[in-house]
Structure 1
């Protein structure tokens, strides 16, 4: 049993991320449920809820866009949700799959791969050469894939 914990200590990180991700989703569920309960209480009373409360309905607020640059709204109109559906879809598609995010993914995975390569060479802990080297190889392959997609996203940007 001691060998298991000393050999697989790194599994604490993905398990911890899973637990905290599940906790975050549970809190988001409770927050949206409480929000809908509040809207339901306004509807039962026959009152009009405040616009700030109605705007927060859904998985995100009126000003939040997942995966987009902050403040990166189109330069016209009252806000993202006031646009027709085809414009919102095009806007989401451009920023989600645009070259900026592809290059960012390539650089981040390259930095992580370089860190694991460095750790596999210069780590003073016994028995860490093989696991760090394995992760470094996998991250290098992921970085090369992200780099290929970034070059393709830049070369075929308007097509």
Structure 2
């Protein structure tokens, strides 16, 4: 058992990331649930909720901090100005295409494939004793992740507007 912890100490980092990610999601769930409960409370009394509270629900859903933008939004009161200098549909196009578009999926394919190739190379040519197994394990996992990203990139490129 002692040899296991000595050999696989690096697994503490991904396990810690999973634990903290789950904790973050649970706190976000509680925050949005409390926000919606407050809106239900206003609705049950027949009162109009404050605009900041209603805008905060959209901020929670989009992952932005509440009140991150000025009252007119990030591009002014009519949707003009800012980075694009164009109307609102340009902002929406940028947000929907480049965030969820095939560019980012193909980027994930190349990055995970390059890291997987690095671990394959390290597992074969490393001169450190005892690194063959751990490097090979990480290389196999990253190769599977790269293949999954490749499938999603192909599907995202072919069925983009459906």
- Interval containing the TM-score (normalised by the shorter chain): 0.5 to 0.7
CA separation in 2, counterparts of 1:95 and 1:29?
Answer: 23
Q: Which residue number in structure 2 is paired with residue 128 of structure 1?
A: 131
Give the Å deviation of 1:28.
0.7
Give the Å deviation of 1:130.
2.0
> TM-score of the superposition, structure 1-length normalised?
0.61
Q: Which residue number in structure 2 is paired with residue 21 of structure 1?
A: 21
Give the Å deviation of 1:47.
2.5
Structure 2 gaps, min length 5: 66-82
Alignment of 1:99-110 (within 5 A): 99-110=102-113
Closer/same/farther in 2, CA of residues 158 and 55 from structure 1, 3 Å limit: closer
Q: Which residue number in structure 2 is paired with residue 8 of structure 1?
A: 8
Is the CA contact (8 Å cut-off) linking 2:119 and 2:138 kept in structure 1?
Answer: yes
CA separation in 2, counterparts of 1:148 and 1:23?
Answer: 30
Give the Å deviation of 1:21.
1.8
Q: For structure 1, which segment, 137-146 or 126-135, has the greater mean C-alpha deviation from structure 2 after superposition?
A: 137-146
Give the Å deviation of 1:146.
3.8
Cα deviations by residue, 1:71-108 (Å, 9 ceiling, x for unpaired): 89x9545x86xxxxxxxxxx969963x42122111122
Number of corresponding residues? 142
Matched, 1:111 2:102: no
Q: Which residue number in structure 2 is paired with residue 49 of structure 1?
A: 49
CA separation in 2, counterparts of 1:62 and 1:139?
Answer: 28
Give the Å deviation of 1:152.
6.7
Q: For structure 1, which segment, 118-127 or 10-19, has the greater mean C-alpha deviation from structure 2 after superposition?
A: 118-127
Cα deviations by residue, 1:9-63 (Å, 9 ceiling, x for unpaired): 2332332122112211221122112212332343354421122311333661497
Cα RMSD of the aligned pairs, angstroms, is 4.1
Q: Which residue number in structure 2 is paired with residue 68 of structure 1?
A: none
Cα deviations by residue, 1:102-126 (Å, 9 ceiling, x for unpaired): 2111122123213323543565643
SS of the equivalent of 1:39 reads helix
> TM-score of the superposition, structure 2-length normalised?
0.60
